[in-house]
Every structure is written in structure tokens, then in C-alpha cells.
Amino acid sequence: MKKILGIFLLLVVVCVVTTLFNPKFLNAYNVQNIVRWTSLFSIISIGVAFVIITGGIDLSVGSTIGLTGTLLAWLLTFKHFNVGSALLTVFAVSLAIGFGHGLLITKLRLPTFVVTLCGLLLYRGIARYLTNDNTLGFGSEFDSLRYISVGHPFSLPFPGGRILIPMPFVLMVVIAIAAAVLLNQTIYGRYLLALGRNEQAARYSGINTHRITIMAYVICSVLAGLGGVLFALDVNSIQPAGLGEFYELYAIAAAVLGGCSLRGGEGTIVGVIIGAAVIRVLYNAINILGIPTQLDFAIIGLVILGGVITDEVIKRIVARRRAARPG
């Protein structure tokens, strides 16, 4: 809880400072925009959080988004799949990606970094080959499908007008609740936290650690696949080389900022969402305050670094305290 409190305070501080410099930050349209992007990034970050809780990492998320987004557009516009079978195919592909990662990491004991780094290269390459690097769009045929990404099912009162609640926010809330229940109220969540802390002890307690690890990678890739669909429907102009590029880093950053330890075994869903919000608000602040956008990577980079350093420092203090105990 302390970790979440810290990041929540950071979010508040960034919001307050930005508002002081430019009150437009708080206008309904801007807030709506931040909510929509925070929701989209939260969905993929929650997936990555599951992998990070196992003590692993998934670098392929951005490319999975690129592949699934491209695949959806390609199937619908070039292959003339109907919407249902296109979505099902995209779901199956993202599931297979996660399952493959999980198998390679558990059964062949390959390092998670290497497996998902190869995934990052592979899926991007497939997406670009599939479409010959051409930009795809859905045109106006699929407006009903695009509603799940760009629609606004309802609005809420907001100072100075009403704020439209974007569909991704609704999806994110549903996913977050499901993820929080899985993590905190089920035996699988308990097993996940246990194996993230000490895989060997978890195995000695009769936990099928391979199955749980594979589950985490599947959740990650499926949520990345959903993210790919939503991002693609949102932009409606899909560049296979660019869609989702570097998103794995935002997702990892959000998870780490939100209290997931890169050592595994720790993390909360609420924290991850706040982490994603911090990153999106920082982005928005860079725009709205007229900071050169060339600096956005630098700022995000510093935030990730700060998160990891804080994590390390806290762990060291704990370790030092423990070293003073019997060995």
C-alpha cells in the first residue's frame, strides 16, 4: 500500500503542477483524452504486470500489438473475414503467442528476456511482411466495430460541462476487476505471488509452477492482443512498422511504477493503473506545457529508471536489515 501511495502522490503532484502552469489541463476534452489513453495503456500494463509478478518480463508486447492490430485490419479488409471470425483469429494468435512464450520459458528453461526479445523482432517482422509495410485502414465500413474503441457509452458531469466516458475505460474497469479478483481472491493468484517470490518453495508446496507461469504469459499476450485491436480501431490508419512500437516499455514502466517488483511476487492492479496514468499524464503535460516533444522518451526513461532505483534501494534496506538476523 505504501508503494501505491507514493505513486498516487506523484500523480497528484504532476496534475497539480501542470494545472498551475496551464489550466487547460483540466478541461473536459483533455481529461477525457487522458482517461482514454490511460485506459488503453492500463489494459496492456495489467497483462505485463502478471508476467512481472512471476519474476519475468515481456518485451514482445509492442510487437504483439502491432501484429494483432495489423492482422485484424488485414483479415477484415483484404481477406474479407466477417468481424466475428477476424476477432476470433486475432484472439487465437495472441493466445498462441503467450502459450509459446510460456512453454519456452518453463519447459525449455529459456531466459524470459531472450524469448520475448525474439518475439519482439518476430511479430513485428510478420506484421510488416503480411501487409508489405503498407498502411491499412478500416474505412467507414466497420464503424460499429470501431465503437468498442472510439465510442462513448455514457457521460458524467464534470466542472464546466460533461465528460464523455470512452469505451476503453469501461473495458479497462471490467478487466481490472477481473484481474484483481484473479490475483487476490483465487488460489491461482496466491500461487502466482508465491512462485514470484520463491519458485522452488512454491514447487515444493505442490504448486504446478509451470502451469501458473504459462497462465501469466497467456494473460499478458491476450491483453496485448486486445490492446492491439483497440489501438488499431482507434487510429484507423495502421502502420505495421509503427503500431505499438515501444509500448512494451510503457507497460513495463507502468507496472514497475505501480509497485510491481522486477524481482517478482509483488504488485497490485490499482497500482498498475495509477502507473499507467502517471505516464499518460506526463505525456499530456509535455504537450500541454509546450515542452519539446523530442524530450518525451527522455522523460519516460527517467521515470522508469527512478522506479527501478527506488525498488532497488528499498530491497537493499530490507536485505540489510535481514542480514543482521541469524543466517
Partner 1 sequence: MASSFFTLSASDHVIDARYVSKRFAGVVALEHVNLSLRRGEVLAVIGENGAGKSTLMKILAGVLTPDNGEIRIDGKPVELDSVRTGLKHGIALIHQELNLSDNLDVAANIFLGREPRRFGLIDRRRIYADAVPLLREVGLEVDPRTLVDRLSIAHQQLVEIAKARSTNARVLIMDEPTSSLTQHEAEQLFKLVLKLREAGVSIVYISHRLGEVKRLAERVVVLRDGKNAGDLHGYQIDHDSMVRLMVGRELSQFYKRRAHVIREDFLRVADLRTPAHPQHRLSFTIKRGEMVGMAGLVGSGRTELMQTLFGIAKPRGGSVSIAGQPVELSSPLAAIEAGVGMVPEDRKQQGLILEMAVRTNLTLAALRANCRGRVFLNRGYERKLSADMVGTLRIKTPSDRQLVHLLSGGNQQKVVLGKWLALKPRLLLLDEPTRGVDIGAKQEIYRLMEELVESGVAILFVSSEMTEIIGMSDRALVMHEGRLMGELRRDQLTEEAIMHLATGGADPERDVA
216 binds partner 1 per the rule CB under 8 A: no
Among the candidate windows 67-75, 162-170, 205-213, 232-240, which touches partner 1 by CB under 8 A?
Answer: 205-213
Subset of 49-68 contacting partner 1 (CB under 8 A): none
180 binds partner 1 per the rule CB under 8 A: no
Helix axes 167-185, 187-197, angle to 10 degrees: 80
152 binds partner 1 per the rule CB under 8 A: no
324 binds partner 1 per the rule CB under 8 A: yes
Closer residue to partner 1, CB minimum distance, 78 or 204 = 204
Among the candidate windows 21-29, 151-159, 180-188, 281-289, which touches partner 1 by CB under 8 A?
Answer: 180-188
130 binds partner 1 per the rule CB under 8 A: no
The grid coordinates of residue 231 equal 489501438
183 binds partner 1 per the rule CB under 8 A: no
322 binds partner 1 per the rule CB under 8 A: yes
260 binds partner 1 per the rule CB under 8 A: no
Q: Which residues on neighbouring strands pair with residue 155, listed in sequence order?
A: 164
CB of 325 to partner 1, least distance (A): 4
Q: Pick from 2, 80, 320, 325: which binds partner 1 (CB under 8 A)?
A: 325
CB of 326 to partner 1, least distance (A): 4
Opening angle at CA 151, ends 149 and 152, nearest 5: 130
Asked if residue 228 lies in contact with residue 243, where contact means CB atoms within 8 angstroms, the answer is: yes
CA dist., res. 24 & res. 18, Å (int)? 9
262 binds partner 1 per the rule CB under 8 A: no
Among the candidate windows 112-120, 137-145, 213-221, 317-325, which touches partner 1 by CB under 8 A?
Answer: 317-325
Asked if residue 223 lies in contact with residue 99, where contact means CB atoms within 8 angstroms, the answer is: no
In the numeric block, the cell 494483432 is attached to 68
- Number of chain positions touching partner 1 (CB under 8 A): 24
Q: Pick from 82, 85, 134, 186: which binds partner 1 (CB under 8 A)?
A: 186
Give the DSSP per-residue string, 213-282.
Answer: HHHHHHHHHHHHHHHHHHHHHHHSSB-TTTTTTTHHHHHHHHHHHTT--TTSS---HHHHHHHHHHHHHH
Q: Pick from 198, 236, 287, 310: which binds partner 1 (CB under 8 A)?
A: 198
Q: What is the largest CA-CA distance in the chain?
A: 69
197 binds partner 1 per the rule CB under 8 A: yes
206 binds partner 1 per the rule CB under 8 A: yes
Asked if residue 249 lies in contact with residue 48, where contact means CB atoms within 8 angstroms, the answer is: no
CA dist., res. 255 & res. 263, Å (int)? 12
Q: Pick from 51, 194, 232, 233: which binds partner 1 (CB under 8 A)?
A: 194
157 binds partner 1 per the rule CB under 8 A: no
Helix (H) or strand (E) holding 126: helix 112-130
Phi, psi of 268, rounded to the nearest 5 degrees = -130, 150
Q: Pick from 83, 92, 114, 187: which binds partner 1 (CB under 8 A)?
A: 187
Amino acid at 229: V
Q: Pick from 91, 203, 287, 310: which binds partner 1 (CB under 8 A)?
A: 203
292 binds partner 1 per the rule CB under 8 A: no
Q: What is the dihedral of CA 290, 306, 241, 117, to 10 degrees?
A: 180
By CB under 8 A, name the binding residues for partner 1. Answer: 185-188, 190, 193-194, 197-198, 200-208, 265, 322, 324-327
